[in-house]
Amino acid sequence: MKERVTLTIEKSLLDRVDKRIDRHRIKNRSHAVELLLSKALSENSPGKAVILAGGQGTRLRPITYEIPKALIPIQGKTMTEHLFDLFKKYGVRDIYLSVGYLKDKIIQAYGDGSRFGISIRYIKEEEALGTAGPLKLVKDELSSTFFVSNGDELKNINLEEMWEFHKKNKALATIALTTVEDPSAYGVARLNGSKIMEFVEKPKKSEAPSNLINAGLYLFEPEVIGMVKDGFCMLEKDVFPKLARKGQLFGYPFSGQWFDTGNNDRYARAIREWKGIK
């Protein structure tokens, strides 16, 4: 239930509120004030993120024979530092970094995260655990909504908008979706409204159900970890189909920059075109 209130606010502050109104996500001044108060007072907004950086990066060889993907440079920063910048921009400062291959180099480079303005705790994979397995190792520390990101993509996503979308749909899991011209090299989302029904893996371009693909950034409720089996487990194959069957897997399309750096050609393009997090 909503109540009408009268507020007296400095004009300069009100001008800043009005600049947020886009008539799409934020409809009017009252809505803008409500969203700002909700953000300021919320105790449940995500403050934690897991970055998956344990892979060997075999498609980036010979670079990754000596350098783990997390430390590969792009425009003067390592790959993972760009993800730190994204999360910091939206107040997410508790980072769990899942590391496996060449993990000692990653830990030495980032330490406790303090020099990057964040706090880093490490999930050490003694054997490969996939994209879901690491979550099981820190399940007791992920007791509220949290982000998960692949470590080998660059992305510029409005995390506030994604969080609002997640809450509005009362989702257990929300996947950021990006648009590509040719989705045939990816898993392509088949949607019913905002719900993801399935991912169609590497379809022919003419047969793709959409041009929306998994952008490697997720919002999860803690209940999702209960769907993760011990040991090696994949979000894409083991968890997302279960969520889709429950009608609890939602897709959030976004329009910001996104680069898959999974092979040498895509890595080179990211170096040329990535604009960074402003």
Rg (CA), the chain: 19
Structure tokens at 265: 């050609």
Residue 95 phi, psi dihedral angles, 5° rounding:
-110, 130
Q: Classify residue 3 by its DSSP letter.
A: -
Provide the 10 A C-beta neighbour count for residue 3: 4
Cβ atoms of 194 and 251 within 8 Å: the answer is: yes
- C-alpha to C-alpha distances, 229 to 96, 175, 197, nearest whole angstrom: 19, 20, 22
Tell me, yes or no, if 202 is annotated catalytic.
Answer: yes
- How far is the C-alpha of 4 from the C-alpha of 20, rounded, in Å? 21
CB 60 within 8 A of CB 263: yes
Closest CA to 100 of 134, 76, 66, 73: 134
Token pair belonging to 200: 């169609």
CA 77 → CA 70, 74, 203, 271, distances in Å? 10, 5, 35, 11
Which member of 27, 77, 168, 202 is catalytic?
202
Strand 48-53 relative to strand 94-99, pairing = parallel
Distances (CA, A) of 198 to 68, 167, 194, 214, 226: 32, 21, 12, 11, 20
Q: Give catalytic residues, as residue numbers.
A: 202
